[in-house]
């Protein structure tokens, strides 16, 4: 019983490290995260908004019904047809874009959100330099994908490079000052 608890803690620590590596790679544009709109745009999804999905349809229905009863039946029917076309070709892509943004923000915010969206099957990870290499939720194992395709960054190398650039900066300033003196003479 005591052995199971440390193992779970170790798994959580490993998952957090892999998730941090995934988010870092996403922000560095080494991987892309795609969102399956149809799987995430439903009432049980945490990124679903009822006002975005039901509000426009309700406005179209109420507006066309008012036109049918107050003005003319043909005008109300035409407004309904045009409203449905507007919803399909304008509102639906707009809702898809909003769901995509909310999903990416939620998925890259913390590990809990990532796991929740992954279990729903709404995410796909692809390598930017190899588009055919992908991991599709929920069947794919994102942990194995990150372990295999996203090696850890050598932080010491990055730090050494940044220190070198800082040391090189005064030398560049001296060259610029010498160039300005030559121009003034």
Quick one: the chain helix, strand, coil %, rounded to 5? 70, 5, 20
| pLDDT at residue 88, rounded to an integer | 93
> Computed over its alpha carbons, how large is the radius of gyration of the chain?
27
> How, if at all, do strands 134-136 and 31-35 pair?
unpaired
CB 92 within 8 A of CB 2: no
| pLDDT at residue 161, rounded to an integer | 44
Residue 124 pairs in a beta bridge with: 34, 136
φ and ψ of 130, to 5 deg:
-140, 90
Domain ranges of the chain: 16-153, 154-185
| pLDDT at residue 132, rounded to an integer | 79
| pLDDT at residue 24, rounded to an integer | 87
The structure tokens listed for 48 are 């679903």
| pLDDT at residue 48, rounded to an integer | 83
| pLDDT at residue 12, rounded to an integer | 81
For the chain, 185 residues long, give each residue's pLDDT as a single digit of tens.
455 444 455 568 888 888 888 888 888 888 888 988 888 888 888 888 888 888 989 999 999 999 999 999 999 999 999 999 999 999 999 999 999 999 999 888 888 888 888 988 888 998 888 777 888 888 888 888 888 888 765 444 445 445 554 555 555 556 556 655 665 55
CB 135 within 8 A of CB 141: yes
Output the pTM of the full model: 0.68
Preceding peptide of 3 cis, ω within 30°: no
């Amino acid at each position: 019983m005591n052995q199971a608890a440390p193992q779970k803690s170790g798994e959580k620590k490993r998952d957090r490290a892999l998730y941090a590596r995934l988010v870092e790679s996403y922000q560095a544009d080494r991987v892309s995260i795609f969102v399956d709109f149809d799987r995430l745009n439903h009432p049980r999804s945490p990124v679903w908004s009822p006002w975005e999905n039901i509000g426009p349809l309700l406005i179209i229905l109420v507006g066309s019904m008012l036109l049918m009863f107050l003005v003319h039946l043909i005008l109300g029917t035409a407004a309904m047809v045009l409203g449905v076309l507007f919803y399909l070709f304008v509102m639906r892509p707009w809702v898809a874009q909003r769901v995509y943004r909310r999903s990416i923000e939620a998925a890259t915010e913390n590990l809990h959100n990532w796991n929740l969206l992954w279990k729903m099957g709404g995410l796909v990870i692809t390598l930017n330099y190899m588009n055919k290499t992908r991991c599709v939720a929920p069947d794919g194992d994102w942990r194995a994908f990150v372990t295999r395709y996203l090696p850890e960054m050598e932080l010491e190398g990055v730090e050494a490079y940044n220190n070198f650039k800082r040391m090189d900066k005064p030398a560049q300033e001296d060259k610029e000052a010498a160039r300005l003196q030559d121009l003034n003479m």
